[in-house]
């Protein structure tokens, strides 16, 4: 089953309440995905020359302060961070590869959940209502966000196997469905330099889009290629630094509803998740057509 949600704000007036609204959307779809939940939220751009990494370690009292101090001292750069539940958002004045390299050598047990200028990515096992509470999603402001409630059918129930998946800078993907050609695709992408952290099918789709975007495709072009290259059932919602998109496979078994007002665009597996947004009853409401890309971009 699974539930997916996305909320893209067209007006900055609602930005302080983005987390509150996304939290309500995820909670409304708890019974579609009680195994785990996660969300990616685009907020607080890192200063020029800096990068933001969302990190995870399963130990409740992990020594994040020590990590910040050590990384800062060894690289001679400014590093700061903020814990949020089991995750830690690190902002570091260094290239992405430097941060990745340092972490893989000095903290190999720390997982990198998402990397970019704006993205913060949180996910964990447990009922979505509890997960959003643990991460205090309610209090987060931002410009757009995606979320997922998972009923696992395809791979293990762990934090790492939860959605969203991010394989590229500021890119993330949530998925309702299952892919059937992900093993072959993972091998092919691996040969093209895309790294995967799990055996999950959705991570392959995220890697596929990362690869095409890296080759210069626009988000819309990448998604259109996906319709012919990715085999299986899917409704995808995709977030980038300044964009948001939705696409369904040609059979379109997996549900999706889109709603739009002058203030926001919302996507969800079911209208229940949208019903409580401000002005929902007056929104333009439609079911996205099969094999059709819908996308929005910040002006």
282 near another protein, rule: CB under 8 A:
no
DSSP element (H, E) containing 229: helix 219-229
Minimum distance from CB of 6 to another protein (Å)? 16
Closest CA to 128 of 31, 213, 44, 9: 31
Total binding residues for another protein by CB under 8 A?
17
- Among 9, 274, 294, 296, the residue binding another protein under the rule CB under 8 A is 274
Q: Which residue has the tokens 């130990």?
A: 59
State phi, psi for 93 to the nearest 5 degrees.
-85, 70
227 near another protein, rule: CB under 8 A:
no
- Among 285, 292, 295, 298, the residue binding another protein under the rule CB under 8 A is 285
Alpha-carbon dihedral sign for residues 92, 208, 271, 85: negative
Minimum distance from CB of 271 to another protein (Å)? 4
Pick the closer one to another protein by CB: 161 or 248: 248
State phi, psi for 58 to the nearest 5 degrees.
-65, -20
Pick the closer one to another protein by CB: 217 or 285: 285
The interface mask with another protein, positions 230-269, x = CB under 8 A, is ----------------------xx-x-x------------
Q: Which residue has the tokens 């995967």?
A: 196
Q: Which residue has the tokens 């949180």?
A: 122
66 near another protein, rule: CB under 8 A:
no
253 is a catalytic site residue? no
Active-site residue among 2, 118, 172, 253? 2
Pick the closer one to another protein by CB: 96 or 275: 275
- Among 106, 184, 276, 282, the residue binding another protein under the rule CB under 8 A is 276
275 near another protein, rule: CB under 8 A:
yes
Strands (E), 15-153: 36-42, 51-56, 79-84, 87-92, 111-116, 119-125, 144-150
286 near another protein, rule: CB under 8 A:
yes
55, 164 Cβ separation under 8 angstroms: no
Pick the closer one to another protein by CB: 227 or 285: 285
- Among 136, 281, 282, 297, the residue binding another protein under the rule CB under 8 A is 281
271 near another protein, rule: CB under 8 A:
yes
Minimum distance from CB of 127 to another protein (Å)? 19
Minimum distance from CB of 184 to another protein (Å)? 27
> Terminus-to-terminus CA distance in the chain, angstroms?
34
Closest CA to 158 of 197, 130, 207, 106: 197
Structure tokens at 232: 């299986």
140, 147 Cβ separation under 8 angstroms: no
Minimum distance from CB of 168 to another protein (Å)? 32
Minimum distance from CB of 33 to another protein (Å)? 15
How far apart, in whole angstroms, are the C-alpha atoms of residue 30 and residue 131? Answer: 10
Please report, to the nearest 10 degrees, the dihedral formed by the alpha carbons of residues 281, 283, 286, 291 taken in order. -140
Q: Which residues are catalytic?
A: 2
Point out which residues bind another protein (CB under 8 A): 252-253, 255, 257, 270-276, 281, 285-287, 289-290
């Amino acid at each position: 089953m699974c539930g997916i949600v996305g909320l893209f704000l067209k007006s900055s007036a609602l930005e302080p309440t983005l987390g509150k609204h996304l939290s309500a959307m995820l909670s409304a779809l708890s019974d579609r995905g009680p195994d785990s939940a996660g969300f990616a939220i685009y907020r607080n751009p890192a200063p020029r020359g800096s990068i933001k990494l969302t990190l995870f370690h399963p130990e409740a009292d992990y020594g994040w302060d020590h990590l910040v101090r050590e990384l800062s001292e060894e690289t001679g750069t400014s590093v700061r961070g903020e814990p949020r539940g089991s995750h830690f958002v690190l902002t570091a004045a260094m290239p992405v590869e430097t941060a990745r390299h340092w972490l893989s050598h000095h903290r190999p047990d720390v997982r990198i959940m998402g990397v970019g200028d704006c993205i913060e990515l949180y996910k964990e096992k447990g009922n979505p209502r509890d997960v959003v509470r643990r991460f205090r999603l309610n209090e987060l402001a931002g410009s757009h966000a995606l979320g997922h409630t998972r009923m696992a059918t395809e791979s293990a129930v762990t934090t790492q196997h939860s959605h969203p998946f991010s394989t590229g800078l500021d890119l993330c993907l949530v998925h309702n469905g299952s892919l059937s050609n992900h093993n072959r695709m993972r091998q092919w992408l691996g040969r093209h330099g895309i790294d995967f952290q799990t055996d999950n099918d959705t991570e392959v789709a995220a890697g596929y889009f990362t690869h095409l975007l890296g080759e210069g495709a626009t988000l819309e072009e990448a998604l259109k290629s996906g319709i012919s290259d990715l085999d299986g059932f899917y409704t995808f919602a995709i977030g980038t630094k300044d964009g948001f998109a939705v696409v369904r496979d040609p059979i379109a078994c997996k549900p999706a509803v889109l709603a739009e007002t002058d203030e926001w665009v919302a996507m969800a597996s079911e209208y229940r998740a949208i019903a409580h947004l401000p002005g929902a009853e007056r929104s333009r409401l439609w079911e996205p057509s099969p094999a059709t890309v819908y996308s929005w971009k910040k002006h």
